[in-house]
Structure 1
Amino acid sequence: MGEINQKMIKRITFEVLKRLSEINDNESIPIGVSNRHIHLSQEDLEILFGPDYNLTKLKDLKQPGQFAAEERVTVIGPKGKFEDVRILGPTRAKTQLEISLTDGFKLGIRPPVRESGKIEDTPGITIKGPKGSIQKYKGVIAALRHIHMPRKYAEKYGFEDNSMVDVVAEGIRKVAFYNVLIRVSEKYALEMHIDMDEANAAGLSNGDRVKIIRD
């Protein structure tokens, strides 16, 4: 009888641990580390590369419809510049440069931490391409860390669009990320975006996984 009980306990323990592992896997979120990059309007793209120019896709990104382009530009600030800054497509309504706070020191500007698209009262930058250059008087941000979340996933786990959550990254440099914006859409693939500063501080790379902290 004792031997049977021991086997039953081991079996139950195994099943419980397996279920917990499955829950952790299902609720964990992959990381996407964003290096400095730029989104261009069609108007600005044509100033930099020539009339009627279209971006050339290099590779698809994880978010459906988004891609890294072969084209690159130079961005110039009051104190420094970055060459070969990758353009991400497709073109957008407004040009936006996304950099880290450390990048801002080199350029000589202070990018505010903003949600993508909210560029009012942000610093400007000079952008140089092979056919021309343009001075933008706003549009430089340090992107607010955020999670792209499919609608079905959000409904399943009880998350709402534009809500803020806290996220923990395990490992030797375990950290918690606070004030992480959730963006919900049926067009999204599940992924949390952080910049290079945040990734280096936490020892995270593309594909590493984090978890939302539940109360």
Structure 2
Amino acid sequence: MQEQQLVDAIAKLVIEQLKNVDVYNPEDKIPVGISARHVHLCREDLETLFGKGYQLNKKKDLMGGQFAAQECVTLIGTKLRAIENVRVLGPERSKSQVEISRTDAIKLGLTAPVRLSGDLAGSAPIALVGPKGVVYLKEGCIIAKRHIHMSPADAAKFGVEDKQVVKVRFESGRGGILEDVPIRVDDSFTLEMHIDTDEANGLGIGKDMGILIK
């Protein structure tokens, strides 16, 4: 009887462990884009930094109608530490936003929260310096939360939906799994996972593909 109880207990333990094992299809591959620090600007702040009526000059097209501009700014943290040549992305937004890595935040002396783009309430303050002036943001600096961009067709292919949270496995580099990855679905998106430089360096990710785990 005791032996049967022991067998039942072990079987139950094995079943519980199997429930926590990630099941995935190695063919469910996601391209990865490594996002360096960058800045989005509203019209008012753009003119303060670069001059009245200034228009951004496109350097490279990005996803969803965005583009990397030729223009760069300097970031100044609360301890007056600076990071120079930070790329501005266009087009203009309704509110200025700075996206940095955790390593950048430490250098600048900031306590920046991990957020998805646009979620700026209560985020860190930061100053931006351009060739024509200075902008001080009382809030607006975040550490960009990793996420996956998909078109509706991609979402249907992978069997996921907008705002669903998944995991992504990496088998090259140092290897590992990134959890808590929200999916963002829009007609203008192409399939790509966005991570920052800290995450890429930590897992040894270069041009590697991630594998989606639902």
TM-score above 0.5: yes
Matches of 2:115 and 2:135, distance apart in 1: 23
Deviation at 1:156, TM superposition (A): 2.3
SS at match of 2:142: strand
Q: Where does residue 118 of structure 2 map in the other structure?
A: 117
Matches of 2:64 and 2:186, distance apart in 1: 11
Q: Where does residue 76 of structure 1 map in the other structure?
A: 76
Deviation at 1:78, TM superposition (A): 1.9
Query: Does structure 1 residue 152 correspond to structure 2 residue 153?
Result: yes
Give, as a single letter, the amino acid of the residue that structure 2 aligns with 1:179.
D
Matches of 1:152 and 1:126, distance apart in 2: 40
SS at match of 1:155: helix
The answer to whether the Cα contact below 8 Å between 2:125 and 2:141 also exists between their aligned partners in 1 is yes
Deviation at 1:89, TM superposition (A): 0.8
TM-score where L is the length of structure 1:
0.85
Query: Does structure 1 residue 186 correspond to structure 2 residue 197?
Result: no
| Partner deviation per Cα, 1:174-193 (whole Å, 9 max, x = no partner) | 11000001000111010000
Matches within 5 A, 1:168-187: 168-187=169-188
Query: Does structure 1 residue 212 correspond to structure 2 residue 200?
Result: no
Deviation at 1:172, TM superposition (A): 4.1
Matches within 5 A, 1:20-35: 24-25=26-27, 27-35=28-36
| Partner deviation per Cα, 1:42-74 (whole Å, 9 max, x = no partner) | 11101100111110001112x131111000001
Q: Where does residue 6 of structure 1 map in the other structure?
A: none
Matches of 1:172 and 1:116, distance apart in 2: 27
Give, as a single letter, the amino acid of the residue that structure 2 aligns with 1:121.
G
Give, as a single letter, the amino acid of the residue that structure 1 aligns with 2:107.
K
Q: Where does residue 128 of structure 2 map in the other structure?
A: 127
Q: Where does residue 66 of structure 2 map in the other structure?
A: 66
Matches of 1:68 and 1:107, distance apart in 2: 23
Q: Where does residue 36 of structure 1 map in the other structure?
A: 37
Could you list the structure 1 runs, at least 4 aligned residues long, displaced by more than 6 angstroms after superposition: none
Query: Does structure 1 residue 91 correspond to structure 2 residue 77?
Result: no
Cα-Cα RMSD: 1.2
SS at match of 2:177: strand
TM-score where L is the length of structure 2:
0.85
Give, as a single letter, the amino acid of the residue that structure 2 aligns with 1:92.
R
Matches of 1:192 and 1:145, distance apart in 2: 7
The answer to whether the Cα contact below 8 Å between 2:173 and 2:205 also exists between their aligned partners in 1 is no
Identical counterparts, % of pairs: 49
Q: Where does residue 49 of structure 1 map in the other structure?
A: 50
Give, as a single letter, the amino acid of the residue that structure 1 aligns with 2:69.
A
| Partner deviation per Cα, 1:80-111 (whole Å, 9 max, x = no partner) | 11111000111111111000011001100011
Deviation at 1:157, TM superposition (A): 2.1
Matches of 2:102 and 2:197, distance apart in 1: 9
Matches of 2:64 and 2:104, distance apart in 1: 28
SS at match of 1:48: helix
SS at match of 1:31: strand
SS at match of 1:106: helix
**More deviation, 156-165/32-41:** 156-165
